[in-house]
């Protein structure tokens, strides 16, 4: 039995993103699809004394957004220094910030020299996976031959990887045709993002929809225990 998930890369994603990664045997980053503006590809949220703050990577966008995510270039390499200064300023009082400061500082220095958004996102996903002890295989969608609509492409991923189970977020119910997966012998399971435990968080009322770095700086080595997939016997999704 092999489980896969397919998602576009996000910049320093929230905990649910890494929960899905940890729940599968192979995670495919689908970045040869259209780049979307004002989305999670090049930005994410952190908590601050003044409320939520966007950290946004500046990118070059062609005409009517016909470029793919992996074709999207970064427009100014000073963003990395700016983001790291903001993170340091707002999280330096977090209980475990100093435990991970050097790791993230090195990552941001490396990121400042990268040309493409996908490269930056993969760098941080890899670093955070290591921190969380996630060993899931990470693949690039360009390694696979795809054709057809969204449903057919996902089925192609499953067939080429030998997967019999596809894990996805609940919003996919709006476009996935479940009968096609049944015909292909592939089980669909929708990840459940509800019911995450709260933790000691800086700056007022608790918020779940922030970058995973908030959880890491706040809980340290215990961060992975706040992922539903941490208990291998209790998966964080529900089948159809």
- pLDDT tens across 66-99, in order? 799 999 999 998 999 999 999 999 999 999 999 9
The mean pLDDT value for 48-77 works out to 91
In this structure, of 7-11, 35-39, 107-111, 206-210, the range with the lowest mean pLDDT score is: 35-39
Closest of 46, 71, 45, 44 to residue 59, by C-alpha: 71
Residue of 77, 131, 141, 143 whose CA lies nearest to 104: 131
Mean pLDDT of the chain: 93
Structure tokens at 128: 């955070």
Tens digits of per-residue pLDDT, 124-165?
999 999 999 999 999 999 999 998 999 999 999 999 999 999
Residue 231: the pLDDT is 62
Count how many domains the chain has.
1
Would the pLDDT of 227 be above 50? yes
pTM, to two decimals? 0.93
* pLDDT tens digits, one per residue of 170-199: 999 999 999 999 999 999 999 999 999 999
Note the pLDDT of residue 65: 60
- In this predicted structure, what is the pLDDT of residue 230? 82
> 240: Cβ–Cβ under 8 A, 6 or more apart, which residues?
178, 187, 188, 189, 190
Question: Would the pLDDT of 238 be above 90?
Answer: no
pLDDT band for position 8 (cuts 50, 70, 90): very high
Q: Which domain holds residue 72?
A: 3-239
Q: What is the mean pLDDT of residues 43-71?
A: 91
Q: List the one residue out of 206, 199, 203, 202 whose CA is nearest residue 224.
A: 199
**pLDDT recorded at residue 239:** 32
Selection from 27, 34, 30, 53 nearest residue 191 by Cα? 27
Choice between 126 and 233, residue whose per-residue pLDDT is larger: 126
Share of the chain above pLDDT 70, in %: 95
pLDDT at 234: 37
How far does CA 234 lie from the centroid of its chain? Answer: 21
């Amino acid at each position: 039995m092999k489980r896969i998930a397919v998602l576009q890369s996000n910049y320093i994603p929230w905990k649910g993103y890494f929960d899905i990664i940890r729940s599968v045997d192979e995670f495919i980053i689908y970045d040869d699809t259209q780049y979307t503006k004002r989305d999670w590809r090049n930005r994410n949220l952190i908590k601050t004394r003044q409320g939520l703050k966007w950290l946004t990577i500046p990118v070059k966008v062609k005409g009517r957004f016909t470029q793919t995510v992996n074709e999207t270039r970064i427009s100014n390499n000073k963003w990395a220094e700016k983001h790291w200064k903001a993170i340091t300023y707002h999280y330096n009082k977090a209980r475990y910030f100093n435990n991970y400061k050097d790791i993230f500082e090195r990552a941001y220095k490396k990121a400042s020299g990268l040309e493409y958004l996908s490269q930056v996102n993969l760098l941080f996903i890899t670093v955070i996976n290591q921190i969380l002890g996630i060993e899931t295989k990470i693949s690039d969608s360009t390694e696979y031959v795809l054709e057809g609509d969204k449903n057919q492409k996902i089925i192609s991923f499953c067939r080429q990887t030998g997967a019999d189970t596809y894990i996805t977020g609940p919003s996919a119910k709006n476009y996935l045709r479940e009968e096609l997966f049944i015909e292909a012998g592939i089980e669909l399971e929708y990840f459940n993002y509800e019911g995450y435990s709260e933790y000691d968080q800086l700056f007022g009322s608790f918020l779940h929809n922030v970058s995973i770095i908030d959880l890491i700086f706040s809980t340290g080595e215990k961060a992975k225990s706040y992922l539903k997939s941490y208990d291998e016997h209790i998966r964080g999704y529900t089948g159809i």
